[in-house]
């Protein structure tokens, strides 16, 4: 963590600390509370499982496509680079970035939507809230408490969305959703870094898969403008290297705009403290013109990749797998490990169990219990 943090950045001084008090880290360790959070996340079981959880393409569809793990690492890299330029807490941004997808189900958004449908009458399923449950309760690594006992600020950043009904159950952590306040700038930054990473790298994976043709991307103004710059500099560049170079240029343009637009809002709103940040409008974001271009790219991906018939064919099968597993466990709760959250309501216990599965484990369970 840099020594020249801005006065409105999160620091050890203004942190709200941990739920369970712990001895201070020895100064010789070189770790602050937020780097300690990062280390706990990296060593968690849920983090390791991200290697076998879908980003867009199912785990068995290819070794070179992004997974939730590689995506989280890319988010952390972008987040740290921007945090350094804005004098924000790099370690906190990294911790949030690495933990933000810990609660995602197997099979990506299709699995999440299917589990939410199964839980519709039992409180629903929110993957951000699930990520919080993972770090607060579901990880079992410490003698004195459940979960990882992370700092308030890391937990706040993980919970980037939350329904008001669930927020009411979360005490201090849920208050900002009820009062319309903002989280720390570090949390705001991790959210935007997530968007930058998945938009650009989904283009890369989409082209690699053959589901998106390079010619189609000319519809996207951000791609078109950066490809023209790349072609002017490297007129002979084609194929995979050209795609990587354009994506690299787009990320650079997005990051540069994000920094400059955020600096302009800081200058305009003049936050003097972390409390000011929470009361002010959102600060970390693109300029209006760049936001429009980012939305255009997102719409392109939704139409041409996420809703591609080949992707939908796989995700429809995956959603059905989740629904059928839920029904099996509901009718046969003895199939869930006996020591797995026995204090929870059965439906929530099932939800936790399925959400924690990797793609391949869910498929294995499906074949074990439902193949005829």
- Distance (Å, rounded) from C-alpha 200 to C-alpha 78? 12
Question: Do 203 and 223 form a contact (C-beta atoms < 8 A)?
Answer: yes
pLDDT band at 58 (very low <50, low <70, confident <90, very high): low
Measured between alpha carbons, how far apart are the two ends of the chain, in Å? 55
What is the predicted pLDDT for the residue at 61?
52
Beta bridge partners of 18: 151
**Mean pLDDT computed over every residue of the chain:** 93
Record the pTM.
Answer: 0.94
Lowest mean pLDDT, pick from 25-29, 132-136, 176-180, 261-265:
25-29
Residue range 352-364: mean pLDDT, rounded: 95
Joined together, the tokens standing for residue 15 give: 């942190």
pLDDT band at 256 (very low <50, low <70, confident <90, very high): very high
235 pLDDT more than 80 = yes
Phi and psi at 151, nearest 5°, equal: -65, 155
What is the predicted pLDDT for the residue at 18?
96
What is the predicted pLDDT for the residue at 83?
98
Of the chain, the percentage scoring pLDDT greater than 70 comes to 97
pLDDT digits (tens, 9 = 90+) for 92-142: 999 999 999 999 999 988 999 999 999 999 999 999 999 999 999 999 999
Would you give the DSSP letter of residue 10? -
Return the ∠ at Cα 75 (arms to 71 and 78), rounded to 5°: 140
Domain range list for the chain: 30-370
Residue range 179-207: mean pLDDT, rounded: 94
Name the CATH architecture for the domain at 30-370.
Orthogonal Bundle (1.10)
- Distance (Å, rounded) from C-alpha 153 to C-alpha 37? 10
pLDDT digits (tens, 9 = 90+) for 269-324: 999 999 999 999 999 999 999 999 999 999 999 999 888 888 888 889 999 999 99
What is the predicted pLDDT for the residue at 323?
97
């Amino acid at each position: 963590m840099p020594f020249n943090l801005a006065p409105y950045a999160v620091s050890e001084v203004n942190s709200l600390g941990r739920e369970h008090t712990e001895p201070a880290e020895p100064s010789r360790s070189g770790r602050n509370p937020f780097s300690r959070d990062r280390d706990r996340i990296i060593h968690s079981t849920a983090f390791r499982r991200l290697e076998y959880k879908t980003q867009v393409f199912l785990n068995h569809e290819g070794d070179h496509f992004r997974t939730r793990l590689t995506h989280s690492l890319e988010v952390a890299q972008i987040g740290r680079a921007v945090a350094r330029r804005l004098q924000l807490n790099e370690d906190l941004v990294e911790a949030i970035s690495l933990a933000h997808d810990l609660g995602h189900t197997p099979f990506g958004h299709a699995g999440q939507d299917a589990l939410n449908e199964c839980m519709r009458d039992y409180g629903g399923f929110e993957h951000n809230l699930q990520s919080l449950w993972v770090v607060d309760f579901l990880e079992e690594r410490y003698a004195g408490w459940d979960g990882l006992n992370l700092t308030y600020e890391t937990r706040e950043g993980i919970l980037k969305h939350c329904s008001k009904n669930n927020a009411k159950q979360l005490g201090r952590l849920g208050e900002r959703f009820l009062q319309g306040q903002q989280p720390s700038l570090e949390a705001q930054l991790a959210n935007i870094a997530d968007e930058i990473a998945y938009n650009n790298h989904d283009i890369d994976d989409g082209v690699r898969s053959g589901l998106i043709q390079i010619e189609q991307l000319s519809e996207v103004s951000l791609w078109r403008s950066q490809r023209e710059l790349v072609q002017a500099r490297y007129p002979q560049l084609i194929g995979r290297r050209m795609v990587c170079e354009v994506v690299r240029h787009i990320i650079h343009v997005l990051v540069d705009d994000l920094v400059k637009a955020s600096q302009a809002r800081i200058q305009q709103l003049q936050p003097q403290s972390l409390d000011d940040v929470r009361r002010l409008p959102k600060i970390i974001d693109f300029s209006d013109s760049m936001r429009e271009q980012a939305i255009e790219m997102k719409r392109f991906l939704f139409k041409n990749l996420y809703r591609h018939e080949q992707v939908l064919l796989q995700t429809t099968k995956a959603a059905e797998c989740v629904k059928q597993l839920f029904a099996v466990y509901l009718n046969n709760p003895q199939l869930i490990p006996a020591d797995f959250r026995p204090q929870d309501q059965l439906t929530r216990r099932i939800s936790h169990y399925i959400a924690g599965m990797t793609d391949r484990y869910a498929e294995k369970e499906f074949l074990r219990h439902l193949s005829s």
